[in-house]
């Protein structure tokens, strides 16, 4: 007998290994140790077979079956195989990295006791007092009942305005699923675990008797392995995790919830660029269970599915706890020149807020002091030496920093080209806005939250705590302040540079901007009275801002989907992006041109565009170029990619100097 094993390498087919006569035959889903060259590595058995194409003198014996760990389920194997096919990777490249650190290396002699210790790790902080059961409103109740009375696979879009209590629907649905089957498990996916401690705390408080584990990249190896094992062995009933948790082994999975399903972090990261949201839906289909996609601004892909009736739409239209919807005001800054980026209207609103001992948020999606330092005498602009972008000026330590590659240097005192000592900081970043607020409102307590202020572990949490406790009057920050935090006393929200995204070349930028604005506006809220959201713009008549001012996501989505359909863009076509990196731009472009012509004439139903430099053409000293591939039928694209990538690999081998390349299916940034 032979065992067919997948390992974490780019190879088309599983590798066959001989099973010694008399040794146990590994079943599919069993982890094994096999020799690869001179080393031993962990692989996954996907098939046991009496036949092999490998010559008898070349076949190697399997080293060891890891029988101490239960095998992975057929559903899990199907999920990873599907993901590998869809995203054009080898099965093992998806399956093996999805295992916890402990199981990715061959077990040592003390493996059993290591496992025993992991099985004893306490998986959550001491059960906090059980939360009071909140009463569900009518919409929440009917959502829960729609999801839980469904049998078999179905996708639900839980479309609820911010503050409408989506979390309560998640928790109640999970409760029903767990009650129905005493062994079932639930998976709750969240975009960024560090920004959602409130959600995790809510889950733990709501289910004090149940073992809840979290899974995210910020965990240590031991903690991660223990959580994985608990889920795999059915001891953990609820898993709260980020994108990688979509591959958690959950043999009794009964429900998948994806919170903030539109969030771009579900499709990100190094390695295989998969969409955790799309795979979660696929997983629900394979397992025959319900999948809930929650958002105040569903992704247009999801919304199109809901409109077509493929996903069932559930609406939560009311804010809970008597919190009124915010009033949105568009402030035209075309004529006035705002001081430190703050318009007089916003300044007045902030003055009033502070005078009434309420709180305000000022959102600007750019850190640093100013995005560029400029010389008015000769036109010199600060730029990164290794990237084709400006280097931002950070006044706090007087540095120039590249936000793409991390390069930094002391900011020059005088223009390096003409010697002019009077350099201008152009535009605004969080530091400059913070400085401006100190000047405009000297008595206000201003705090800033961005990547620079929160590098230290726990720094973000203590800054947020200061807002919750009332020790901060005005919070300035980037996207980090928009996610997950439910503040209680925010009377005013200011949005400073929405225009940058309004004018972006990326066809997904409007969708992202609308989601960000909605999320930022959602932080505004206090019991009883409406809060104000002031958006500063030079384009107050822009239809996107108009829709946002009416809090009309549905109108916006309709408008965008019409545009996308007219222009043949996703979700009406499927795309893949081949990108290449090289020391020379020409090399990267030539590689893509060769790759393009490798399959000329054999691409029926598939459109291949010309190779072009990427929008940021140089990062960290390497030039980057891209080739877009598109098809109306997803199946056509998949079939094309499968055949084509073998030829791309050949082109890559022949290209000198070496070109780094990768393929991304359903790219999010083009
Ligand atoms: Zn100069
Ligand atoms: Zn750089």
- pLDDT tens readout for residues 511-528: 999 999 999 998 887 666
Q: How many Å lie between the centroid of ligand 2 and the Cα of residue 382?
A: 11
Asked whether residue 129 carries a pLDDT value surpassing 60, the answer given is: no
Tell me what pLDDT residue 442 has.
96
Tell me what pLDDT residue 132 has.
66
Residue 589 contacts by C-beta under 8 Å, 6 or more apart in sequence?
A: 580, 611, 612, 613, 625
CA pair distance 582, 622, nearest whole angstrom: 5
What CA–CA distances, in Å, run from 265 to 158, 242, 296, 598? 19, 9, 16, 33
The mean per-residue pLDDT over the stretch 127-155 comes to 86
Tell me what pLDDT residue 608 has.
95
Q: How many Å lie between the centroid of ligand 2 and the Cα of residue 167?
A: 40
Asked whether residue 323 carries a pLDDT value surpassing 80, the answer given is: no
What CA–CA distances, in Å, run from 571 to 275, 287, 554, 579? 14, 25, 16, 21
Q: How many Å lie between the centroid of ligand 2 and the Cα of residue 406?
A: 6
Q: How many Å lie between the centroid of ligand 1 and the Cα of residue 594?
A: 43
Asked whether residue 125 carries a pLDDT value surpassing 60, the answer given is: no
**Structural tokens at position 252:** 């009794």
Tell me what pLDDT residue 22 has.
81
The mean per-residue pLDDT over the stretch 37-65 comes to 93
Residue 613 contacts by C-beta under 8 Å, 6 or more apart in sequence?
A: 585, 588, 589, 623, 624, 625, 626
Q: How many Å lie between the centroid of ligand 1 and the Cα of residue 459?
A: 39
Ligand nearest to the CA of 404: 2
CA pair distance 245, 241, nearest whole angstrom: 5
Tell me what pLDDT residue 477 has.
94
Tell me what pLDDT residue 599 has.
83
Asked whether residue 124 carries a pLDDT value surpassing 90, the answer given is: no
Q: How many Å lie between the centroid of ligand 1 and the Cα of residue 368?
A: 22
- pLDDT tens readout for residues 227-243: 999 999 999 999 999 99
Q: How many Å lie between the centroid of ligand 1 and the Cα of residue 98?
A: 52
CB 328 within 8 A of CB 535: yes
The mean per-residue pLDDT over the stretch 70-75 comes to 96
Asked whether residue 127 carries a pLDDT value surpassing 60, the answer given is: no
- Whose tokens are 């075309």? That residue is 334
Q: How many Å lie between the centroid of ligand 1 and the Cα of residue 370?
A: 18
- pLDDT tens readout for residues 437-474: 999 999 999 999 999 998 887 888 888 889 989 999 99
Report the largest interatomic distance among the alpha carbons of the chain, rounded to a whole angstrom: 85
Q: How many Å lie between the centroid of ligand 1 and the Cα of residue 374?
A: 8
Ligand nearest to the CA of 389: 2
Asked whether residue 128 carries a pLDDT value surpassing 60, the answer given is: no
DSSP-H helix ranges across 441-492: 459-469
Tell me what pLDDT residue 126 has.
47
CA pair distance 98, 283, nearest whole angstrom: 15
Ligand nearest to the CA of 617: 2
- pLDDT tens readout for residues 487-516: 888 999 999 989 988 988 899 999 999 999
Ligand nearest to the CA of 378: 1
Q: How many Å lie between the centroid of ligand 1 and the Cα of residue 406?
A: 25
Q: How many Å lie between the centroid of ligand 2 and the Cα of residue 452?
A: 17
Q: How many Å lie between the centroid of ligand 2 and the Cα of residue 579?
A: 19
Q: How many Å lie between the centroid of ligand 2 and the Cα of residue 401?
A: 8
Ligand nearest to the CA of 408: 2
DSSP-H helix ranges across 503-654: 509-522, 543-549, 553-566, 585-597, 634-654
Pick the range with the lowest mean pLDDT from 11-25, 287-301, 551-565, 604-618. Answer: 11-25
Asked whether residue 431 carries a pLDDT value surpassing 70, the answer given is: yes
CA pair distance 266, 288, nearest whole angstrom: 22
- pLDDT tens readout for residues 184-236: 999 999 998 665 667 888 899 999 989 999 998 888 899 999 999 999 999 99
Q: How many Å lie between the centroid of ligand 1 and the Cα of residue 424?
A: 10
Name the pTM for this structure: 0.94
The mean per-residue pLDDT over the stretch 37-41 comes to 94
Q: How many Å lie between the centroid of ligand 2 and the Cα of residue 498?
A: 24
The mean per-residue pLDDT over the stretch 117-127 comes to 73
Q: How many Å lie between the centroid of ligand 2 and the Cα of residue 405?
A: 4
Q: How many Å lie between the centroid of ligand 1 and the Cα of residue 371?
A: 17
Q: How many Å lie between the centroid of ligand 2 and the Cα of residue 391?
A: 7
Q: How many Å lie between the centroid of ligand 2 and the Cα of residue 624?
A: 13
Q: pLDDT tier at 115 (50, 70, 90 boundaries)?
A: very high
């Amino acid at each position: 007998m032979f065992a067919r094993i997948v390992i974490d390498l780019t190879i088309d087919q599983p590798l066959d290994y001989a099973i010694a006569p008399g040794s146990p035959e590994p079943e599919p889903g069993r982890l094994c140790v096999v020799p690869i060259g001179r080393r031993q590595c962990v692989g996954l058995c996907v098939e046991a077979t009496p036949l092999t194409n490998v010559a008898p003198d070349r076949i190697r014996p399997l080293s060891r079956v890891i029988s101490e760990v239960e095998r992975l389920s057929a559903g899990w194997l199907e999920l990873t195989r599907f993901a590998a096919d869809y995203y054009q990777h080898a099965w093992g490249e998806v399956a093996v990295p999805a295992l916890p650190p402990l199981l990715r290396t061959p077990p040592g002699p003390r493996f059993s006791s290591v496992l025993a210790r992991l099985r004893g790790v306490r998986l959550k902080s001491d059960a906090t007092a059980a939360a009071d059961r909140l009463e569900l409103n009518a919409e929440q109740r009917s959502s829960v009942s729609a999801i839980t009375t469904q049998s078999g696979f179905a996708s639900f879009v839980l479309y609820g305005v911010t503050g409408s209590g989506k979390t309560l629907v998640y928790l109640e649905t999970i409760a029903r699923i767990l009650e129905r089957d005493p062994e079932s498990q639930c998976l709750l996916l969240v975009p960024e675990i560090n920004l959602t401690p409130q959600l995790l705390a809510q889950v733990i408080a709501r289910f004090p008797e149940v073992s809840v584990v979290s899974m995210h990249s910020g965990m240590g190896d031991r903690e991660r392995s223990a959580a994985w094992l608990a889920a795999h062995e059915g001891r953990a009933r609820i898993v709260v995790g980020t994108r990688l948790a979509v591959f958690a082994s959950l043999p009794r999975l009964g429900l998948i919830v994806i919170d903030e399903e539109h969030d771009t972090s579900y499709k990100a990261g190094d390695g295989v660029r998969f969409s955790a949201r799309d795979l979660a839906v696929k997983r629900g289909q394979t397992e025959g269970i319900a999948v809930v996609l929650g958002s105040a601004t569903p992704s247009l892909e999801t919304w199109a599915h809901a409109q077509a009736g493929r996903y069932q739409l559930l609406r939560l239209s009311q804010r809970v706890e008597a919190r009124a919807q915010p009033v949105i005001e568009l402030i035209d800054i075309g004529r006035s020149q705002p001081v430190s980026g703050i318009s007089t209207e916003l300044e007045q609103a902030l003055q009033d807020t502070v005078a009434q001992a309420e709180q305000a948020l000022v959102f600007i999606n750019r850190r640093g002091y100013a995005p560029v330092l400029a010389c008015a005498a000769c036109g010199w602009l600060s730029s990164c030496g290794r990237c084709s972008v400006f280097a931002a000026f950070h006044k706090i330590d007087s540095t120039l920093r590249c936000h793409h590659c991390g390069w930094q240097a002391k900011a020059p005192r005088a223009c390096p080209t003409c010697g002019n000592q009077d350099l201008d900081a152009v535009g605004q970043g969080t530091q400059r806005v913070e400085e401006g607020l100190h000047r405009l409102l000297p008595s206000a307590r201003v705090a800033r939250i961005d990547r620079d202020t929160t590098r230290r572990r726990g720094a973000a949490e203590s800054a947020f705590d200061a807002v919750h406790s009332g020790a901060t009057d005005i919070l300035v920050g980037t996207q980090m302040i928009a996610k997950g935090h439910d503040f209680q006393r925010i009377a005013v929200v200011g949005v400073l540079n929405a225009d940058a995204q309004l004018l972006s070349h990326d066809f997904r930028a409007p969708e992202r901007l609308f989601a960000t604005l909605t999320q930022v506006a959602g932080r505004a809220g206090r019991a009883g009275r409406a809060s104000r959201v002031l958006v500063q713009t030079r384009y107050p008549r822009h239809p996107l801002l108009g829709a946002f001012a009416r809090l009309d996501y549905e109108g916006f989505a309709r408008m965008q989907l019409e545009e996308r359909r007219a222009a043949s863009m996703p979700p009406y076509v499927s795309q893949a992006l081949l990108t290449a990196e090289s020391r020379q731009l020409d090399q990267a472009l030539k590689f893509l041109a060769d790759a393009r012509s490798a399959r000329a004439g054999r691409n029926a139903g598939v459109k291949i565009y010309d190779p072009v430099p990427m929008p940021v053409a140089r990062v960290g000293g390497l030039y980057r170029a891209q080739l877009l591939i598109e098809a109306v039928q997803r199946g056509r694209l998949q079939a094309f990619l499968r055949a084509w990538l073998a030829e791309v690999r050949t082109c890559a081998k022949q290209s000198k100097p070496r070109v780094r390349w990768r393929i991304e299916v359903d790219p999010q940034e083009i």
